[in-house]
A and B are shown apart, each in its own frame.
Chain A
Amino acid sequence: MAEEITIKVGFGDHFRDLTVRLQDGDIAPWQPDQQLDVVGKRLPRLDAVAKVTGTAKFAQDQNPAGMIHGRILRSPHPNADIRSVDLSAAKAMPGVRAVLTVPEVFEDSSARFAGAEIAAIAADTEQQADAAMRAIQVEYDIKDFCVTIDTSMEDGAPQVGRGDQKNVQRVSPRSRGRRRGGNANPGADQQVLDRMAAREKEVSALLAASDVVVEGTFRTQVQTHAPFETHGAVCSWEDGQLVCWASTQATFGFRGELTSNWGQVKASECRVLSEYVGGGFGSKFSAGREGVIGALLAKEAGVPVKMMLDRSGEQTSAGNRPDALQKMRMGVNKDGVIQALQIRSWGTPGSGTGGAGAHNDGIYKLGEVDKVEYGVRTNCGGARAHRAPGWPQGSFALEQMMDMAAHSLDGIDPIEFRKKNDDHPIRVAEYDIAKERIGWNKARVRGGASNICTGVGIASNLWFSAGGGGASALVRISKDGSVEIRNGAQDIGTGTRTVMGMVAAEELGIPLDMVSTRIGDTNDPQGPMSGGSTTIGTLTPAARLAAHYAKKELLAVVADRKGWDPTDLDIRKARVIRNDGSDTGLSFHDACQLMDDDAIEVLKARPRRNYAGFSDTNAGVQAAEVEVDMETGVVRVKKVVAVADAGKLINPMTAESQVRGGVIQGVSYALTERRIMDRHKGRMLNDDLENYKILGSLDCPEIDVVLVDVYNGKSNTQVMGLGEPPIVATAAAVANAVADAIGTRVFEIPITPKKVLEAIASKKAPDPGGKKKGARL
């Protein structure tokens, strides 16, 4: 029988009762009045010692005996078909042990971006592999190409794709009857077109009837993930079993690709090991061609192969956040209520169209929305999920529209305007925190001798990260008093391992240093991928349940040996106590000694469904303060206040680090990062880390993180993830702050000095952002 309980959900002064029907042997979430010993404490991450001493072994650091080196030959042409690949000369080169071609292995003879994989070689040394690569003869059928959204959308532009694939394809609303990767079935699509036309008419009428209409065109650039450890793996076949030390954010997904009958490797057994992963940011869900190539080269060579991408391969072929071109019209009434929003957006995720969309209508109450999104194919490296896919692009446009609308309404305060159109139960309380801490109302500096103008701007986050089913954890309490928790998922730097250990320690009633954790090994229980910020929301309820039932088994042993009532016992601070809090005189260690068996082992799965809870979504508000040099156009972000929530906070220190990291990547996206394509050669010009500019320490703002602890009641740990939400709002907040500082708007990121100076110069020209006369930015 499912047990029904009443819990408190909410935060701060906003708590209410919620009745929950517990499922699958689940236990009650921690309550606000409950004293917790481990959860909620700022504890150093468990892998910190290994990382600061250089003893942490990443995939790149693996050096199994006999290991040789893999290299991938890439297309120099942005759009070509491979006629032939001649490996005979390369095979005869010194040290070469294995070769393969992409057309044979992947049945794909097209190279649709400069950097596309053509062939691969494994040789004793990297130098030998490089030399052999130069001996590969490839014949290409070279085609015309497009590497920018604008050229690809032109009439008569060269075809990027193959077959009947058009360069520009509507991706939302979805066409009915669309074949995979192809174009719409014209008959079925007509119904969608009819509905779109009706929608457009309705929203156009609402816009015409609104008191004020603002419009703008926004552009965001391509951002590469640039994880510091490149993609790839060290692959080794041992007695028919494939072992991969992989740099992945999905150990089980990686294994699945290499064992699948649909894949190229078809290993009957595969073990993926990823104890340390040097970043991913969404780009490492798939084994990728490099993972498959590594496994196949190792099989042919009969020795382990290190197949890690070089930096250029990483920057060109291993994913990016697509660019976006967004056109918006927003209708608002004088009372400050948004009536309608029309959105047309285009994005270029490389030669495909998946992931082209910008999430620009999710955060506020926007009235009726007419939105159409198009994917635009270009001969560039393909997009992959990138930290809050689609959201920073969308936020950059929407949040500027919000400010433009607020200003056009006789200067209603942008924060008040947002509050009027926002009903998120957590965010409504977060605005004021951000407002106060950024100094929203303080006087702005306006030029003078220094040429410096200052400004502040605000924007919001939204995310959905309570997790779900799909994880199990194993807790083992040994007779000698040692405790171990295991899950096969990975920690890509977010602190998953530490949080898992803390939840288990709390439930077991022992300090964190008594728990050892094991992660990143597919021989251990199933764990989630590090994606959607759902990792710890999925994993920790399983960890807590496994710890809970292991503790119960231990207390049953104690009760049996001592003749005590098992329901009167618990463990706290490594002591066995009674329900009234009194000490039984037995330590955790001594309790373990009472076991007959060597150990208690409990494997528990996470309950599949989440409870109704307080809020399905994370909120968050960010405010930025900038300084703009009006003479040079240089923007300096002085400070970012990031108010963030993520359900119940397990470790505020690692949570804070996640937020700071999101903000820094967001500032970097706003000011400096940009993939630059050579329009004449079709190649990426900055496939490195000197010309692809990642924000450095000198440009890093002061980041003031405020964490809001929410008892959301969604699961027994009430945890939500925090990887993605903090990057959503940052670029938008910076852009709004720049507009506040210079009195005009920059509609395109990165906000370079050139764009700032152009915006200042065109200040007196008609404002492209506001239609109403006299409307301020």
Chain B
Amino acid sequence: MDKKPEEPPEGVSRRHFLKGAGAAAAAVSVAQLPSEVQGSNGTEDEPTILGPGPVPIQLRINGVDGQTEAAPSTTLLDLLRDHQGLTGAKRVCDRGSCGACTVLLDGRTVDSCSMLAIDAVGSEITTVEGIGTPENLSDLQQAFIEKDALQCGFCTPGMVVSCTALLKENPSPDREQIRRGISGNICRCGTYQNIIEAVEHVSRKGGK
């Protein structure tokens, strides 16, 4: 499965479409799809027809490999929420404009409402549940609590994920960089200033 698919000379193949459609498509290669998803006759020349019925999808979520049956049209968000019971990521705008569904795909933030679950095959998926647990909070989660960086809490999981990615990329961001780092996440209650303070607090302590 490590062979790279050949580029067709022109036009758009289904695979190329799939490859381009994923929000983090750069990280996903169709060659990484498990054979079950590719279909038994999956060759490089012929398009593979998936679905509309459920197909097995193998994903690595929060460090654990698992297999789920879902229609290939299932978004990553719905797969996490409805099939995996991971309801931290929220469906709010359902079109990638609010950030409440943010998860990490190989360490980079993606809007899980706007990508297909099958596009995440082969990637390391991290949800808010994988960042810390009530018994083992991350430094950032602890700072969110101490700085009251949440109100209703509905945007909070997405904010936690985005801020985690931001700190990983830049462990000591300035205020403007933090503002930019969370600019893809909207908070309706108005907790931005508290979130910025929480990130600064972690950054000062050198945590993550």
Which residues of A come within 8 Å of B, CB atoms?
44-45, 47-58, 60-61, 63, 127, 226-229, 276-279, 281, 310-311, 492-495, 653-654, 656-658, 660-665, 688-690, 694-698, 700, 702-703
Q: Which of B125-177 contact A (CB under 8 A)?
A: 127-129, 131-134, 137, 141, 144-146, 148, 150-157, 160
Q: Mark B70-111, 1 if CB is under 8 A from A, else 0.
A: 010100000001100111111111110110100000000000
Residues in A whose Cβ lies below 8 Å from that of B86 = 54
Q: Assess whether A53 is in contact with B194, with CB atoms less than 8 Å apart.
A: no
In angstroms, Cα B198 to Cα A653, docked, is 14
Whether A60 contacts B90 by the Cβ 8 Å rule is: yes
Q: Residue B18 at the A interface, CB < 8 A? A: no
Is there an interface contact between B82 and A44, defined as CB atoms closer than 8 Å? no
Residues from 159 to 208 in B contacting A, C-beta threshold 8 Å: 160, 178-180, 182-183, 185-186, 188-196
Greatest chain A CB density within 10 A among B86, B145, B150, B190 is at B190
Name A657's contact: one of B93, B133, B191, B196 (CB within 8 Å).
B191
With contacts A44-B148, A657-B151, A697-B196 known, is A53 near B188, CB below 8 A?
no
* Closest Cβ–Cβ distance, residue A523 to chain B (whole Å): 23
Return chain B residues, CB-CB under 8 Å to A311.
92-95
Chain B: residues with CB nearer than 8 A to chain A?
Answer: 71, 73, 81-82, 85-95, 97-98, 100, 127-129, 131-134, 137, 141, 144-146, 148, 150-157, 160, 178-180, 182-183, 185-186, 188-196
Q: In the complex the two chains form, is B194's CB within 8 Å of A48's CB? A: no
B156 (CB) vs chain A CBs: closest residue:
A51
Cβ contacts under 8 Å, B178 to chain A? 697
User: How many angstroms from the CA of A311 to the CA of B93 in the assembled complex?
Assistant: 6
**In the bound complex, how far is the Cα of B129 from the Cα of A279, in angstroms?**
22
Closest residue of chain A to B160 (Cβ to Cβ) is A52
The answer to whether A660 and B153 touch across the interface, beta carbons within 8 angstroms, is no
A-B contact pairs, 14 of them (CB 8 A): A47-B153, A49-B137, A51-B156, A52-B145, A54-B87, A54-B160, A278-B154, A311-B93, A493-B150, A660-B191, A689-B95, A690-B93, A690-B97, A700-B179
Q: Report how far A664 CA is from B73 CA in the complex, Å.
A: 38
Whose C-beta in chain B lies nearest to the C-beta of A57? B87
Interface centre among B73, B141, B153, B185 (most CB of A within 10 A): B153
A-B complex: 10 closest residue pairs judged by Cβ atoms: A54-B88, A493-B152, A664-B190, A51-B153, A278-B154, A661-B190, A493-B151, A61-B87, A228-B154, A690-B97
Q: Which B residues are CB-close (under 8 A) to A48?
A: 144-145, 148, 150
Contact in complex: B141, A53 (CB < 8 Å): yes
Given contacts A53-B134, A55-B134, A278-B152, contact A694 B188 (CB under 8 A): yes
- By a CB distance below 8 angstroms, the chain B residues around A52 are 128, 132, 137, 141, 144-145, 150, 156-157, 160
Tell me the bound Cα distance from A492 to B150 in angstroms: 11
Task: State A187–B81 Cα separation when bound (angstroms).
Answer: 61
Contact B188 A227 (CB under 8 A): yes
With a CB–CB cut-off of 8 A, which chain B residues contact A656?
148
Across-interface contacts of B133 in A (CB, < 8 A): 53, 55
Is A277 a contact of B152 with CB atoms below 8 Å?
yes
Min C-beta distance of A307 to chain B, whole Å:
14
Q: Complex Cα distance A603/B86, Å? A: 37
A700 close to B192 (CB less than 8 A): yes
Docked-complex contact A653 and B183, CB < 8 angstroms: no
- Picked from A53, A278, A698, A703, the residue with its CB within 8 Å of the CB of B183 is A698
CB of B95, distance to nearest CB on chain A (Å):
7
With known contacts A227-B152, A228-B154, A694–B183 Cβ distance under 8 A: no
Q: Which of A57, A60, A663 has the most CB of B within 10 A?
A: A60
Residues of A within 8 A of B93 (CB): 311, 688-690
State the Cβ distance, A168 to closest chain B Cβ, in Å.
33
Is B148's CB under 8 angstroms from A493's CB? no
- What chain B residues lie within 8 Å of A657 (beta carbons)? 148, 151, 189, 191, 194
Interface contact B132-A53, CB-CB below 8 Å: yes
Contacts of A662 in B (CB 8 A): 190
Nearest-neighbor residue (CB-CB) of B157 within chain A: A54
Whether B152 contacts A55 by the Cβ 8 Å rule is no
Question: Which A residues are in CB contact (< 8 Å) with B180?
Answer: 697-698
- A492 vs B94: C-alpha distance in the bound complex, in angstroms? 22
Main secondary structure of the interface of A (DSSP, over half): loop
Contacts of B152 in A (CB 8 A): 227-229, 276-279, 492-493
- Assembly CA distance A278 to B98 (angstroms): 14
**B88 and chain A: residue at smallest CB distance:** A54
Give the residue among B182, B188, B194 with the most A Cβ atoms within 10 A. B188
B119 smallest CB distance to A (angstroms): 18
Query: Which residues of chain A come closer than 8 Å to B185, judged between CB atoms?
Result: 697
A311→B73 CA distance, assembly (Å): 20
Q: In this complex, what residue of A is CB-closest to B82?
A: A63
Q: A52-B160, A63-B85, A493-B153 are in contact. Are A279 and B189 (CB under 8 A)?
A: yes
In the complex, A702 Cα to B150 Cα: how many Å?
17
Contacts of B146 in A (CB 8 A): 44
B182 neighbours in A (Cβ, 8 Å): 697
Report the minimal beta-carbon distance from B116 to chain A, rounded to whole angstroms. 14
**Which residues on B sit within 8 Å (CB–CB) of A702?**
193
What residue in chain A is nearest B194 (Cβ atoms)? A657
The interface residues of chain B lying within 8 Å CB-to-CB of A60 are 87, 90-91
Query: How many Å lie between the Cα of A665 and that of B87 in the bound state?
Result: 27
- Minimum CB distance partner of A696 in chain B: B183
Min CB distance, B194 to chain A, in Å? 6
Known: A656-B148, A690-B97, A697-B179. 20 other contacts (CB 8 A): A48-B144, A48-B150, A51-B153, A51-B156, A53-B134, A54-B156, A58-B87, A61-B81, A227-B188, A228-B90, A311-B95, A494-B151, A660-B190, A689-B92, A689-B98, A696-B186, A697-B180, A697-B182, A697-B183, A703-B193
Please indicate the chain A residues that have their CB under 8 angstroms from the CB of B129 in the complex: 53-55
Are B151 and A54 in contact, with the CB atoms below 8 A? Answer: no
Closest Cβ of chain B: how far from A646's Cβ, in Å?
A: 16
A49–B87 touching, CB < 8 Å: no
Q: Give which listed residue, B81, B88, B150, B186, contacts A694 with CB less than 8 A.
A: B186
Give the CA-CA distance A276 to B90 in the complex, in Å: 13
B residues within 8 A CB of A703? 193
**CB atoms of B153 and A700 under 8 A apart:** no
* Closest A residue, CB atoms, query B128: A54
CB distance from B188 to the nearest CB of A (A): 5
Q: In the complex, what's the smallest C-beta–C-beta distance from B153 to chain A, in angstroms? A: 3
Distance in angstroms from B94 CB to nearest chain A CB is 6
Nearest CB on B from A624, distance (A):
15
Residue of A nearest to B136 (CB): A53
The smallest beta-carbon distance between B78 and chain A, in angstroms, is 8
CB-based contact B192/A664 at 8 Å: yes
Tell me the minimal C-beta distance from B134 to chain A in angstroms.
5
**A661 lies within 8 A of B189 (CB):** yes
A76 to chain B, nearest CB (A): 20
Q: Would A689 and B186 count as touching, CB distance under 8 A?
A: yes
Interface centre among A44, A53, A278 (most CB of B within 10 A): A53
Chain B residue with minimal CB distance to A492? B152
Instruction: Identify the closest chain B residue to A657 (Cβ).
Output: B148
